[in-house]
Structure 1
Amino acid sequence: MDATKDDTGPALPPAIEAAWGLRGRPPKGPRPGLTLAGIVEAAVRVADDEGLAAVSMGRVAKELGAGTMALYRYVGAKDELLTLMVDTAYGGPPGAGDEGRGWRAGLTRWAWADRSALRRHPWVLLVPIAGPPLTPNSLAWLEDGLRCLADTGLAENEKMSVLLLVTGYVRNESLLTAQIVEGSRAAGIAPGELMPTYRCLVARLTDPQRFPALHRVLAAGVLDRDDDPDDEFVFGLERVLDGVAALIDRRSTD
Structure 2
Amino acid sequence: MDQLPRTLRVLWDLEPKPTRSTGPALSRERIVRAAIELVDEQGMDALSMARLAERLGCATMSLYRHVASKDELQAVMLDAGLAEPPRQDDPNDNWRAGLETWARTLLAVYLRHPWMPRMEITGPPLSPGQLGWLEAGLVLLHDTALQPIERMSVMLLVAGYVRTEATMAIVGDEVRRDVGPDSARETVEQVAKLIDPQRFPALSEIVESGAFTSAPFDFDHFTYGLRLILDAIAVRANHQMTGP
Q: TM-score, normalised by structure 2?
A: 0.89
Residue of 223, 237, 241 corresponding to 1:248: 237
Please name the residue that 1:66 is paired with: 58
User: Where do 5+ consecutive residues of structure 2 fail to align?
Assistant: none
Secondary structure at the residue paired with 2:181? coil
8 Å contact kept, 1:51–1:123: yes
Judged with a 3 Å threshold, the aligned counterparts in structure 2 of structure 1 residues 32 and 162 are, in CA distance, closer, same or farther, namely same
1:224 deviates by 5.2
Residue of 145, 152, 171 corresponding to 1:179: 171
1:20 deviates by 2.6
Residue of 85, 97, 102 corresponding to 1:105: 97
1:177 deviates by 2.1
1:135 deviates by 2.0
User: Where do 5+ consecutive residues of structure 1 fail to align?
Assistant: 1-6
1:97 deviates by 3.8
Query: Aligned partner of 1:159: which letter?
Result: R
Please name the residue that 1:139 is paired with: 131
Judged with a 3 Å threshold, the aligned counterparts in structure 2 of structure 1 residues 98 and 238 are, in CA distance, closer, same or farther, namely farther
Secondary structure at the residue paired with 2:211? coil
8 Å contact kept, 1:87–1:135: yes
8 Å contact kept, 2:23–2:58: yes
Matches within 5 A, 1:54-93: 54-93=46-85
Question: 2-side partners of 1:115 and 1:149: how far apart?
Answer: 20
1:93 deviates by 0.6
2:11 is the alignment partner of 1:22: no
Please name the residue that 2:155 is paired with: 163
2:231 is the alignment partner of 1:235: no
Q: Percent identity?
A: 40
Question: 2-side partners of 1:184 and 1:217: how far apart?
Answer: 23
Question: 2-side partners of 1:21 and 1:208: how far apart?
Answer: 58
Question: 2-side partners of 1:155 and 1:76: how far apart?
Answer: 40
Please name the residue that 1:4 is paired with: none
8 Å contact kept, 1:52–1:126: no
1:120 deviates by 0.6
Q: TM-score, normalised by structure 1?
A: 0.85
Relative CO higher for 1 or 2, CA cutoff 8 Å, sep ≥ 6?
A: 2
